[in-house]
Structure 1
Amino acid sequence: MFELGPALLFCPGDRPERFAKAAERADAVILDLEDAVAPADKAAARAHVAASDLDPARVIVRVNAPDTAEFAADLEMLDESPFRTVMVAKVEDTVPLDRFDESYSLIALCETARGVSAVARIAAHDRVVALMWGAEDLIASLGGTASRHADGRYRDAARYARSRVVIESAACGKAAIDAVHIDIDDALGLAAEAEDAAASGFVATACIHPGQVGTIRAAYAPDAETVAWARDVLAAAEGERGVFRFRGRMIDEPLLRHARAVSARGA
């Protein structure tokens, strides 16, 4: 199971001077060999990642899409490195995932129409520990021009993909990671989106700027009152059989599962 914490920070693979600071600021750093790196700088980025002395337990490496020439070179570098948590960009079927042996833990990035369509099969793959979705590449694959409305709300196609990823991940016992909020200055929008992600079952939100980390962590951490309620209702349940009344509410097993999740996040 994915257990790297709620705030995952992308860092360009060709900017090694930022690696350590990104790792310090976030719960895990995603060293990016894909979209954050220009084609001419891909080889240099691989060399920088390979030479990194970051703790492999807190590093995710995002590799290029399986249908690109860079994918094989990325895998060759990884085989010689200590990094074994890999985010595979633009996954559309399970065949490329078979290229990784059992030493790897994969995060499948479903960010195209084909990827979202195949998300159930992808989530079921043995190497996959988590799935993430991406709004901008998804809309581009649909021939669209914007993932959000003018007020910041996701368009229906993006909302559908987000829902599919969290549901199919849970169905296979895998974790789900929410997409980045690309408006760096929109702290209120990020907070609302991350709070919704945590309440909906996502275990983490990816981000693109260190300034977003604190907002995400706060959103995933339940407030003290909610944690206290969860622990109290779980304690009360120990002396009950089946459905019972607690502080004016009917409590059944689904609500107890909610309480267990809140209690775990508040630990």
Structure 2
Amino acid sequence: MTSFAMGPAILFCPADRPERYAKAAARADAVIIDLEDAVAPESKDSARRALLDSALDPARTIVRVNPADSEFFAADLAALRLTAYRTVMLPKSESAADPARLQGYEVVALCETAKGITSVSEIAAAPNVVAVMWGAEDLMASLGGTSSRTEAGNYREVARFARSQVLLHSVAQGKAAIDSVYLDIPDTAGLLAEARDAKASGFAAKASIHPNQMPVIRAAFRPGEAELERAKRILAAAETNPGVFAFEGQMVDEPLLRQARVTLAAAKHLEDG
């Protein structure tokens, strides 16, 4: 897992709802002030003015601008330059040329189209990209599909493939991978299971759409006491057992030792945060 400096629980907040900014920041590890999907075209100007008037912690704030090829991008960028915010989420990222248009900013590249997913390796390799997120529903729309999930609530095969591509190529480039949002707000059990899978698979964070999802995501990413204690015991045993050794009925080699180190590092990161 490549860690995301802002923490694992990330919350979208509409840019044209400034009264929600501080509340979102209080609940989340990081806030995404959203100038794109959450704001109607006729409200874009007022949303930018609200962004200019805001004073959130830049170290915990991401601004989602409109896509680089949209009519709103230039105005978004002009407003952004007048703020202290320097981390930008770029939606519909489809090539390394897209984050290149945001020189001077750290970019969270949002890959949510067929072209974006098939180009994720070069996008993740862009020097100013610090993390890559995938978007399920926009991806399905780009494919001509109607839903990323089956009636049982599980991701369809193509969505699972896209999720895996983002994770593999991001981490291969040393960048954090961020899991997509969980849209069923009341279903906290489903969110917890998906967030636990994200953490266990190597995602550094999960985005969300509602403040009530924050503690669920944090709980999923925080190693449990039993998990922490086992990781400590494995690493302690390794000090006196060089190479491969048996531990509590399991063979332990370097991959398992790395997993134990990741567990301890994640716990420390959440504690420090």
TM-score, scaled to structure 1: 0.98
Q: Which runs of 4+ in 1 moved over 3 A?
A: none
In the TM superposition, what are the counterparts of 1:87-236 in structure 2 within 5 Å? 87-101=89-103, 103-236=104-237
Deviations 1:122-145 (A, max 9, x none): 000000000000000000000001
> What one-letter code is carried by the residue in structure 1 that aligns with 2:70?
T
> What one-letter code is carried by the residue in structure 2 that aligns with 1:145?
T
Matched, 1:76 2:72: no
C-alpha displacement of 1:43 = 1.1
Provide the C-alpha distance between the structure 2 equivalents of 1:126 and 1:242, rounded to a whole number of angstroms: 37
* 1:60 aligns with one of 51, 59, 62: 62
* 1:51 aligns with one of 50, 53, 68: 53
Match of 1:261 in 2: 262
Match of 2:271 in 1: none
Provide the C-alpha distance between the structure 2 equivalents of 1:94 and 1:45, rounded to a whole number of angstroms: 28
Deviations 1:217-249 (A, max 9, x none): 000011100100001111111222211111121
Provide the C-alpha distance between the structure 2 equivalents of 1:246 and 1:30, rounded to a whole number of angstroms: 43
> What one-letter code is carried by the residue in structure 2 that aligns with 1:195?
R
Unaligned runs of 5+ in 2: 269-273
Q: Contact between 2:178 and 2:204, CA under 8 Å: does it hold in 1?
A: yes
C-alpha displacement of 1:31 = 0.2
> What one-letter code is carried by the residue in structure 1 that aligns with 2:165?
R
> What one-letter code is carried by the residue in structure 1 that aligns with 2:156?
R
C-alpha displacement of 1:47 = 1.1
SS at 2:5's partner residue?
coil
C-alpha displacement of 1:51 = 1.3
Q: Contact between 2:171 and 2:177, CA under 8 Å: does it hold in 1?
A: yes
SS at 2:74's partner residue?
helix
SS at 1:131's partner residue?
strand
* 1:21 aligns with one of 20, 23, 28: 23
Match of 1:246 in 2: 247
Q: CA RMSD in A?
A: 0.9
Provide the C-alpha distance between the structure 2 equivalents of 1:181 and 1:259, rounded to a whole number of angstroms: 28
Provide the C-alpha distance between the structure 1 equivalents of 2:85 and 2:107, rounded to a whole number of angstroms: 11
Number of equivalences = 266
> What one-letter code is carried by the residue in structure 2 that aligns with 1:115?
G
* Higher alpha-carbon deviation: 242-251 or 171-180: 242-251
Provide the C-alpha distance between the structure 1 equivalents of 2:33 and 2:59, rounded to a whole number of angstroms: 13
Provide the C-alpha distance between the structure 2 equivalents of 1:150 and 1:188, rounded to a whole number of angstroms: 17
SS at 1:8's partner residue?
strand
Matched, 1:39 2:41: yes
> What one-letter code is carried by the residue in structure 2 that aligns with 1:183?
D
Provide the C-alpha distance between the structure 1 equivalents of 2:133 and 2:99, rounded to a whole number of angstroms: 15
Provide the C-alpha distance between the structure 2 equivalents of 1:94 and 1:46, rounded to a whole number of angstroms: 26
* Higher alpha-carbon deviation: 237-246 or 166-175: 237-246
Q: Percent identity?
A: 58
Which has the bigger relative contact order, CA under 8 A and spacing at least 6?
2
Deviations 1:136-165 (A, max 9, x none): 000000000111001100001110110000
Deviations 1:20-42 (A, max 9, x none): 00000000100000000000001
Provide the C-alpha distance between the structure 1 equivalents of 2:125 and 2:185, rounded to a whole number of angstroms: 33
